[in-house]
Structure 1
Amino acid sequence: MSAVSPPHPVRCCGQEPFGQRVALVSANGTLVRPPDLRRVGRFDAVTPYGAAGAAGYVAPAQALDGRWGYVDQTGRWLVEPALERAKAFSGGLARFRRDGRWGYLNDQGEIVIEPRFGDAAGFGDGSGLGDGAGAGLAPVRVDEGWCYVDRGGRVVISGPFTDAERFSAGLAAVRIGDRWGYIDADGVLVIRPRFAFAKPFSSKGAAPVQDPEAAWGQGWGLIDRQGGWIVEPRYLHMGEFTGEGLVSAHLWDSGEGFVDAHGSTVVAHQSGLSGRMVCGLARLGHGSSSVSFVGGTGAVAIAGPFTWAMDFRPCGATVALRGEDWGVLRADGEFIPLSHREPLADQDEDHGGVHGFSLSGLAPFVTYEGDVVHVDTHGREVCRIEVAVPGAAGRATGTSGQTPFTRDEGEGGLPVRDAVSGGPERVSRIRDAGGGEVWRSDPASGVFSPEPAFLRRDAAYHFADLAHWEGDVVATAEKLLAAEPRRFLPYTVSYGGDRDGDVYDLSGADEDDVEEYAGLGALEELAADYAYESTWGAYPFLGADAETAFEHYFATLAERLSARYGPADVAGPGCLLQGDGDDLRAWRVGDRFLVLQRWAAYPGGSFEHQLWLAAVLVRPETSGG
């Protein structure tokens, strides 16, 4: 095996038309390949197939033009990017697609099996799938259906099957018609097809299957190698066996748990238990403020409590939040707090997620300046993606070290903040572990921007114009008081329908809301936050953080306005819009009420917070005359 370590893929974010790019760096951040790749798959330590070549690390990679090839540990193309798709190595061979057909090549880039299959799976890799008898076989799809080929591409089990899986512990699940059964390495059907779903056998001789005749919510159980029931159907769902010989099993009325190959419950069923066990650890309590991890015996192995944590990754670490500190949690229980703002997450409100540790053992974190720092499983900085203004001492950031954002309306009317694209031209730099610059972008590399907040949402994220918070809110109030009165209704994502966010356009508003809440005067939205049910469910701390932040904004701005206009008038015009949680202050200024309102709503598991400032014309019944 080669002594060379595989490089780490690191993401550099550019704006369209360049988009995301990936660079390759070494364990100390030395540049192996500049960010001129779109995607990089898993680096595998491959043993040569045949006599030629020496063992090394190879990964599938996608060039910027969308074509795929393979790169080695030096960052050079082992196979030039001329393929439609490329998959990682397994069992010494890798799958690739060319002209719509799949074939296999070895680690020297030599085609071993010509691309002639409609689809193809991997050969055995010693991971539990493809081990034992059948390890040298792979399921492929031909015109008639699925069959199995050996490493020379010869069909050895013809089938054809409706579907087929890789061998595990000498047996492979195959589908005939709409039912699954199992074959042995000779192609003999040893367990007749009678299951709705079938998963791989463990080395202990058990496999999870679903009985289509069982009652709903109780269809999954365990069978032995002869197809007999070890555990008759009783589970809502089951996973696949882990390296510790356990399988997750969900009871409808009790939650997730883990059982062994004999069907004995090893980790008790309980709500909040993750269905994944990695490094012998399963997360317990996700969705609460007290996350811990249990081991393979069911006992608590890492007590925490953590505010939030991901499942462990095979590298032996995960990303966790303890109190206010984000950091690295290792499988030995050590928590390493980091001074960075938050872990890098996709900026998608519906499907966004924390990246966490990659298969290469790096996790990206976002600094308060908008840089992206990649740390290893010990929390050590390996490299840094830095955005800066050429010749300037500081980063391309806004006031108080916060990244400035513009407000726009995204898909579904959700507020979206993008890094400001104006101002001085920016460059992106990659720095190694020692802080040395190893790469710098040029104009052809695209426009780069600091990473905005996603989890630690601060004033720079919430305020449409940061001057409302860091500047003089009285100036905004005076502008509203002097404006020509117009009919308005606050715009909200939760109840806004197809409205475009214009508070003076009432054409699409609910008639009852217009009748009850439409005001006459001028209004400005100062700050806003929204989270889908999926986002809030994944990061439960966001709700409490947002509520605390908006309460602070409201109290602070109310004090500033009271310093100018005197004590708030309790006989104000009432709420600008009724919500699930509101605070209101009003000041009588001439013929107007100046109204500051904090508004909150929680529709369907989502949350929304708004902060409005309005100058409302005093109605005769409230004028006192």
Structure 2
Amino acid sequence: MWQALGVISLCFMLVGAASFGSIEEGKPPELLPVYVGNKAGFINRQGKMVIRPRFDMVGHFHEGLAAVSIKEIWGYIDKTGKMVIPLRRGLTSMPFSQGRAPIRVKDKEGYIDRTGKVVIKPQFDTAFSFARGLACVKVEGGYGFIDLKGKLVIPPLFDGCVDLPGDFVSIEKGGKYGFLDRKGNAVSPLQYDAACDFAEGLAAVALGNKWGFLDGTGKLVIPLQYDAASSFSQGLAAVAVGDKYGYLDRTGKSVIPPQFAEAGDFSEGLALVHLPDGAKGLVDTQGKIVTLDFPLEKMEPFAQGMAAVKVGEKYGYVDQTGKLIIAPQYDEAHPFVQGLAKVSRGDKYGLIDRTGKVVVPLEYDRIFDFHEDRARVQKERYFGFIDRSGRLITPIMFLYSETDDFDFHGGLAYVEADEYCGYLNREGKFIWKSK
């Protein structure tokens, strides 16, 4: 038993330091980290050892380099195994991103380039990886963003690192909101009392009790004249005049006049609305309304022509005509993805198809999302893999984890069992397994 625990602790160190899920430039990694005994090296995708195990811990390859450590001191190797940035104190297991990797010197963090030269001096409390030209850093008690030269372009106004998925970020100071672009330029000054994120090129903002919309230049293109507003979805945004909601387009033209007690976002051309008489219905982008003939409690967005609905205490599904086609019978119901939806009764999960047929029996403690037509299914502390027909391609024998490091990427999945770890192909066969 002690031997098994030792093996698992090594496997855990491997995955903790070397996320198999990291895909460089959209391609599967060429080299995969493995442990032999208590040393780590790399195999290729055919299972052949190409960098002999000689490190205590390793990270994954990114931008051609991988972090490696000996006696808790880190450096970086290339894909031939050559140490291109020698082991030195202050380097970390963080991968290179956009030619930069963090380094820590005297309790402050900065960045090195691919030669190991410090290019952004250590001055931050914490430094994270770069993405799209910016990196989140902690400085002066808050979190902001620097560019590749180390310039603080977005001030440390946040309580933690935030995602910057678009070209603009909303900021708040002293109860007032504004927007910056990714270069730190002010798109809109701190003047609004409320603001939503940009969606479809426009952001809803409020001044006093009135809402309008501004564009990416900061120009108020739809005046502050509405009593409430939501973000745009599929070209339309819900706005309120008094206590009635309708929809306008991106030019500010009223497309569906205010008439609803509540109005939701559009998905697949339909939005849930509450009618004045208390009924609920679906409205399309032209304003055509279909009244639902059942007592709806909740509705999820449409996906593949179906939407999960809660009726009483159970979930079923409606189609785009508002017809209830899968009777309410589940405690949870998730969106359809490639023809399958995850549902539960009690604490057991399965999968159904669009006709309501059970494809995977409701017998699992958890079902993860499909990756490359394979999904993890969990029972107690172990998981295995199924295909889209529900067939188990491996036994339920691998140690459970929340992370997506154990999903399939580029035809392979990393797994850990009680006494070994390794890499599986999509047929459930090992290309490499620890002894």
TM-score by length of 2: 0.54
Amino acid in structure 1 at the alignment position of 2:270: L
Change (3 A) 1:322 1:55: closer
- Does 1:320 find its partner at 2:356? no
Aligned partner of residue 180 in structure 1, secondary structure? strand
Q: Whole-Å Cα distance in 2 between the matches of residues 335 and 235 of structure 1?
A: 37
- Does 1:222 find its partner at 2:252? no
Aligned residues: 318
Amino acid in structure 1 at the alignment position of 2:319: G
Amino acid in structure 2 at the alignment position of 1:146: Y
1:156 to 178, 187, 190: 187
Q: Which residue of 2 aligns with 1:281?
A: 306
Aligned partner of residue 96 in structure 1, secondary structure? strand
Q: Which residue of 2 aligns with 1:96?
A: 136
Aligned partner of residue 183 in structure 2, secondary structure? coil
Amino acid in structure 2 at the alignment position of 1:319: K
Q: Whole-Å Cα distance in 2 between the matches of residues 236 and 336 of structure 1?
A: 39
Q: Which residue of 2 aligns with 1:371?
A: 382
Q: CA deviation at 1:285?
A: 4.8
Q: Larger helix proportion, structure 1 or 2?
A: 1
Q: Is the 8 A contact 1:86 1:94 kept in 2?
A: no
Matches of residues 287-306 of structure 1 in structure 2 within 5 Å? 287=312, 291-299=315-323, 303=326, 306=329
1:209 to 230, 236, 239: 239
Q: Is the 8 A contact 1:180 1:193 kept in 2?
A: yes
Q: Whole-Å Cα distance in 2 between the matches of residues 296 and 144 of structure 1?
A: 42
Matches of residues 142-153 of structure 1 in structure 2 within 5 Å? 145-153=176-184
Q: Which residue of 1 aligns with 2:15?
A: 34
Q: Whole-Å Cα distance in 2 between the matches of residues 110 and 316 of structure 1?
A: 47
1:239 to 260, 264, 270: 264
Q: Is the 8 A contact 1:117 1:142 kept in 2?
A: no
Aligned partner of residue 247 in structure 2, secondary structure? strand
Matches of residues 568-607 of structure 1 in structure 2 within 5 Å? none
Q: Whole-Å Cα distance in 2 between the matches of residues 429 and 196 of structure 1?
A: 61
Q: Whole-Å Cα distance in 2 between the matches of residues 375 and 186 of structure 1?
A: 49
Change (3 A) 1:294 1:163: same
Q: CA deviation at 1:192?
A: 2.9
Change (3 A) 1:224 1:322: same
Change (3 A) 1:137 1:294: same
2:94 to 73, 77, 82: 77
Aligned partner of residue 181 in structure 1, secondary structure? strand
Amino acid in structure 2 at the alignment position of 1:283: A
Residue deviations 1:237-256, cap 9 Å, x none? 333222x2322223476555
1:261 to 267, 285, 289: 285
Q: Which residue of 1 aligns with 2:274?
A: 250
Q: Whole-Å Cα distance in 1 between the matches of residues 28 and 227 of structure 2?
A: 39
Q: CA deviation at 1:165?
A: 2.6
Q: CA deviation at 1:197?
A: 3.5
Matches of residues 398-417 of structure 1 in structure 2 within 5 Å? none
- Does 1:342 find its partner at 2:372? no
Amino acid in structure 1 at the alignment position of 2:360: P
Q: Is the 8 A contact 1:167 1:173 kept in 2?
A: yes
Q: Whole-Å Cα distance in 1 between the matches of residues 240 and 368 of structure 2?
A: 32
Amino acid in structure 2 at the alignment position of 1:103: G
Matches of residues 511-530 of structure 1 in structure 2 within 5 Å? none
Q: Which residue of 2 aligns with 1:166?
A: 197
Change (3 A) 1:292 1:227: same
Change (3 A) 1:335 1:207: same
Aligned partner of residue 197 in structure 2, secondary structure? strand
Aligned partner of residue 334 in structure 2, secondary structure? coil
Q: Whole-Å Cα distance in 2 between the matches of residues 257 and 182 of structure 1?
A: 27
Q: Whole-Å Cα distance in 1 between the matches of residues 291 and 27 of structure 2?
A: 39
Q: Whole-Å Cα distance in 2 between the matches of residues 359 and 255 of structure 1?
A: 40
Q: Whole-Å Cα distance in 2 between the matches of residues 284 and 329 of structure 1?
A: 15
Amino acid in structure 1 at the alignment position of 2:303: V
Aligned partner of residue 34 in structure 1, secondary structure? helix
More displaced, 321-330 or 219-228? Answer: 321-330
Q: Whole-Å Cα distance in 2 between the matches of residues 220 and 342 of structure 1?
A: 43
Q: CA deviation at 1:319?
A: 1.6
Q: CA deviation at 1:200?
A: 1.6
Amino acid in structure 1 at the alignment position of 2:176: G
Aligned partner of residue 300 in structure 2, secondary structure? coil
Q: Is the 8 A contact 2:316 2:330 kept in 1?
A: no
Q: CA deviation at 1:207?
A: 0.7
Q: CA deviation at 1:113?
A: 5.5
Q: Whole-Å Cα distance in 2 between the matches of residues 87 and 166 of structure 1?
A: 23
Aligned partner of residue 175 in structure 1, secondary structure? strand
- Unaligned segments of structure 2, at least 5 residues: 1-8, 30-59, 68-92, 96-100, 104-108, 110-124, 401-416
Q: Larger strand proportion, structure 1 or 2?
A: 2
Change (3 A) 1:267 1:386: farther
Residue deviations 1:564-608, cap 9 Å, x none? xxxxxxxxxxxxxxxxxxxxxxxxxxxxxxxxxxxxxxxxxxxxx
Amino acid in structure 2 at the alignment position of 1:371: Y
Amino acid in structure 2 at the alignment position of 1:118: L
Q: Is the 8 A contact 1:285 1:292 kept in 2?
A: yes
Q: CA deviation at 1:310?
A: 1.5
Q: Whole-Å Cα distance in 2 between the matches of residues 260 and 318 of structure 1?
A: 24
Q: Is the 8 A contact 1:315 1:377 kept in 2?
A: no
Q: CA deviation at 1:173?
A: 0.8
Amino acid in structure 1 at the alignment position of 2:157: G
Q: CA deviation at 1:263?
A: 2.5
- Does 1:179 find its partner at 2:210? yes
Q: CA deviation at 1:366?
A: 3.7
